[in-house]
Chain A
Amino acid sequence: MLSIAILTITATLVLFLGFSKNRDLILPFSAAGVGVAALCLLTNQSLWNEWFMNMMNISGPSKAFSVLILGLSLCIIPFINEFRRRGTEEIADFSGLLIFSLIGGIMMVSYSDLMILFLGLEILSIAMYILAGADRKRLNSNEASLKYFILGAFASAILLFGIALFYACTASFRLDAEVLQNSTLLNLSFLIIFSGLAFKIALVPFHFWAPDVYQGTPTIFTATMATIVKVSAFGALFQFISLCNHHMTEWIYWLLSLIALTTIVFSNILALQQKSVKRMLAYSGISQAGFILIGFLNLSPEKSWSILYYLFAYSTASLVCFLVVHFVEEKSFNDDHSSFRGLYFNNPFLAIVMSIALISLGGGPLTAGFMAKLFVLNNAAIAGNIALVVFALIFAVLSLYYYFRLINQMFSHSNEIKSWSIEYPYAGILTVLSIGTIIAGILPNILVDLLK
């Protein structure tokens, strides 16, 4: 709980810092705040742990989820500075909102009471609605923000309805309450809550918002959506399923595998023909979410590491992709496939880190993505879901087509060679993420032991 308090204070102070003329302090301060919060989590500071009458509890897997969220945000915060280059000076607002969204994220992954889930989801979402429209002067950004807001509100309503139904059945918001008993209505409430969360995760058929919103949103915040929001939503789903595992019928798992399958099939097919790289990455994110969902099939707390590992692999790789897309967009003003042509000759560094990330997303060996897919599919195979594994593998191979098409594009000669430069801090973050991807791929057990 201490970390949430720290984050809240940091975010508020950052908003005040926005008044001062000197804006150089804002980002270091934000990063420091987030860093301290992450340290508190890592060192098990147990101050105020019993807050909210035990309505939330950061321990075990939820701690890992929270640390992952904070770590990702640490990689994103420095990039907010890029807005100043474009002449937008309100970075204090962006940074503050981003930190507020982290609070929401942490609440979402550590709730045991559905009210906290709802609160966290709203805190996260409202911040993200605004950030989606960060580029106020661009119509696309406004459109994305509005779309995200309307659909998000719709999904929140569904979630709330599910929670209400849950309360009607059990007279409690607590998932671990003893009063639970199996009834059709209760199962229906699970279904509705799941649908609300599936919207945030962007699983088929609740995914329609994702490509549109991803494309319009300023790329740095697209990266936030693709990583932090997704990790938080998966954390919420994990918490939800692991806390009321024993009340779920077999049927729910059957439904999960069905959704995983449709998600993988549908998103990969749609990704094939995308011309915009951001949309392609949006679909790729949807398909990865399908893979992660496979990890939920025979869930037990000891197996949470495979989901976390996958989330780590996915979010590091996808973060790198979006950040590189950001730089390409800066230089060529769009995110078309064709603007990536010859990237290697313009800036070899960007092309190489992007290739590593794409290979990891595609599940190439020696990257984290390979091990992640291996672990998750291995789980499903042990559970006896061979057909699902086979289908998932077929579509994983299919996905290589669009990843490698982009890599191919980056390494082809283009007519004009421009020399693009990238500042060292940014390069440093990208390098760290790429090395993380490779190390986790070669020596997976380092991470797995941590997660266990």
Chain B
Amino acid sequence: MNFEGYIHLILWPTLIGFLINGIFGSKLSRKMSGVIACIGPLTGLLATSMIYLTQPLLEAKTVIIYNWFTIGLGNPVNFSVYFDHLTVLMLFIITGVGSLIHIYSIGYMKDDPGFSRFFAYLNLFLFSMILLVTGSNLVLLFAGWEGVGLCSFLLIGFWFKNTEYNKAARKAFVMNRIGDLGFILGVFLLALKFNSIEIVKIQESFGEIAKNDPTIVLITLLLFLGVCGKSAQIPLFTWLPDAMAGPTPVSALIHAATMVTAGIYLVARMSILFNLAPFTLNIIMWTGVITAIVSASIALKQNDIKKVLAYSTVSQLGYMASALGVAAYTTAIFHVMTHAFFKALLFLAAGSVIHGLQGEQDIKNMGGLKSKMKVSQIVFLIGTLAIVGCPPFAGFFSKDEILASVYSWSFWGFVVLAFSSVFTAWYMFRLYFSTFHGNYRGTQHTWEHAHESPWIILFPLLVLAFLSIIGGFAGMPEILSHHHLVKEYLKFSMVDHTHTVSHLFEYSLWGITVVALLIIGILSYRKYSTIKKEDFEKEEDIISKILANKYYLDEIYSIIFSRPLKSLGSWFKNVFERNGIDIYVKAPGALLNKASLELKPLQSGNISWYMISILLGFLAFAILFIFKF
């Protein structure tokens, strides 16, 4: 099969799966709709592997699948895909992790009444995501971008009978819309400035542009606003923790492994553009650094197992953004990859725990689960070790690389990131020990029913655990090996700045990491493996209160933005609108309605009047014609 054939195999099965499950879902058996849904990502994964194996792709390939329509003076809008190494890598992450999560969902959602609807959404999500990473022009990129936003909204509010969940879905949607506004303005500006919508063509014309060109800075800032929305950076990150309202596989797929990395992908794809705007890069780095520390500190005091993971996701995204900010695009993508493995693993393992405890998510009511759920405990431990950056697990290499790159650019940024690493270790060990060690703190009833999940749930966990262990070796630092596989693979797609740090720095960083992890591990083991339920509430000093309440960010947003806006809004509504705008806004409508009623008698049904009107109309034209106006 040739290249085009593989592309079709990647693109369409998910869309077809969505259509089948979406239209005929209620008529299919659960098994059928699960299998149909899994076919999409699995064929995608297979086709991506075939492309990886058979196509060298040393140069990026653009394949026009379909000439969509032509607009303006012959500007064709094509349905075309763009393939380079970055695309292939992203496709591996999307279809690989996507397939595992689809399989997992069959077990996890098996008693849900909305089974086929769930899979239809998942497939549509994957299709949009694939469109987003393969689209060769801004129109397709935008379609994918909006598509994943829509699916995220649908899936967060999947259990739509719960009002809270709907609110969370709406919050996610609105926050994303704010970002999307920036994104779409940026895209319009790009198209306007370069007079083309094809990404390749735009990149070709970068050569003539000076650094920090004001338009470019504006474009990159606007695009970064979009990134903030989708990839949950300060100040638009508060939607992501709330998004945990969706079913756990959704949290794993969308809010950890793929969708939130769309923003990172966008910056990496446009790396040449961002290189032209060092000003924006600085902003990106600091946004990332601050996001990392803020969310990591919030995670310290959360008691909902999924919330902790959600904040850790935000924090990890902060790491990626800071890597982007120092123009270490490959490093960011490397972390996207390892993060996809271990974060999906953690979420799915957490889901397995939640599943086994009949929906319990509060770690206050957990503890001692290692005797009941051996496999879940082990994989969760692997995930924890990976995310805290313990050698030789996956997170270690990518995080280490980010820290080193940031160090070579900005010392203080490095310090803050290092601190948030410490926080990360603390909250992850806390989560792990209080869930699996010590004594069970919930009710007797749930303890008796607590059970390990079935194999269809455990299988994806084991695969992900394996990947979390070895995933890091794809990008070994210079002191260990001269082959940084990810960097070598991506060198055709992105233009990195070089980051060199001394070997001494690397070694000491490792040493400190290992020692710090050991200390934190032991401390938190002593504290949390024996913790009692009351102790969770006891920690009531001022700082922990602030952290437990997420820096009161929701409240602050509400005070700074929502409330003034609301009171302003109510003033506008009651005073300004009623007396000022309404008159003008309603006037056309009322006028039209009135005109409609007034004109109705013209249609009297009287034939002679109709004839006269024809004649009058004709006469009017004739008179206009004779006098030429």
Binding site for B on A (CB under 8 A): 147, 150-151, 154-155, 158, 187-188, 191-192, 195, 199, 204-206, 208-209, 211-212, 251, 255, 266, 269-273, 371, 374-375, 378, 382, 398, 443-445, 448
Contact = CB atoms under 8 A, between A and B. Distances in A.
Contacts of B616: 205
Nearest to A199: B614
Nearest to B602: A208
Counting from the closest, the 6 A-B pairs by CB-CB distance are A205-B617, A273-B596, A208-B610, A272-B596, A195-B618, A444-B69
B136 to A, nearest CB: 17
B623 to A, nearest CB: 11
29 contacts: A147-B607, A151-B610, A151-B611, A158-B618, A187-B625, A195-B614, A195-B617, A195-B618, A199-B614, A204-B617, A205-B613, A205-B614, A205-B620, A208-B602, A208-B609, A208-B613, A209-B610, A255-B625, A269-B592, A272-B596, A273-B593, A273-B597, A371-B69, A378-B71, A378-B72, A382-B73, A398-B592, A443-B66, A443-B68
Contacts of B29: none
Interface string B26-49: 000000000000000000000000
Given A444-B68, A445-B68, A212 B596 contact: no
Nearest to A443: B66
Nearest to B608: A150
Contacts of A208: 602-603, 609-610, 613-614
B614 A269 contact: no
A300 to B, nearest CB: 14
Interface residues of B, number: 33
B592 A272 contact: yes
A154 B609 CA distance: 13
Given A188-B625, A191-B625, A269-B596, A211 B69 contact: no
Contact of B605 (A154, A212, A378, A382): A212
Interface string B371-411: 00000000000000000000000000000000000000000
Contacts of A270: 596, 599-600, 603
Nearest to B597: A273
B614 A191 contact: no
A211 B621 contact: no
Contacts of B620: 205
B587 interface: no
Contacts of B585: none
B624 interface: yes
A238 B520 CA distance: 82
A269 B595 contact: yes
A374 B70 CA distance: 10
A191 B599 contact: no
Nearest to A381: B72
A443 B599 CA distance: 40
Contacts of A378: 71-72
B524 to A, nearest CB: 53
Contacts of B593: 272-273
B518 interface: no
B628 interface: yes
Nearest to A206: B614
Interface in B286-314: none
A377 B24 CA distance: 38
Contacts of A155: 614
B622 A191 contact: yes
A251 B596 contact: no
A407 to B, nearest CB: 19
Contacts of B602: 208
Given A205-B617, A444-B69, A154 B628 contact: no
Most buried by A among B605, B614, B616, B621: B614
A448 B600 contact: no
A445 B67 contact: yes
Contact of A192 (B73, B609, B618): B618
Contacts of A255: 621, 624-625
A398 B591 CA distance: 13
A109 B287 CA distance: 65
Nearest to A262: B617
Contacts of A192: 618
A251 B625 contact: yes
A328 to B, nearest CB: 23
A398 B625 CA distance: 31
A151 B609 CA distance: 11
A188 B607 contact: no
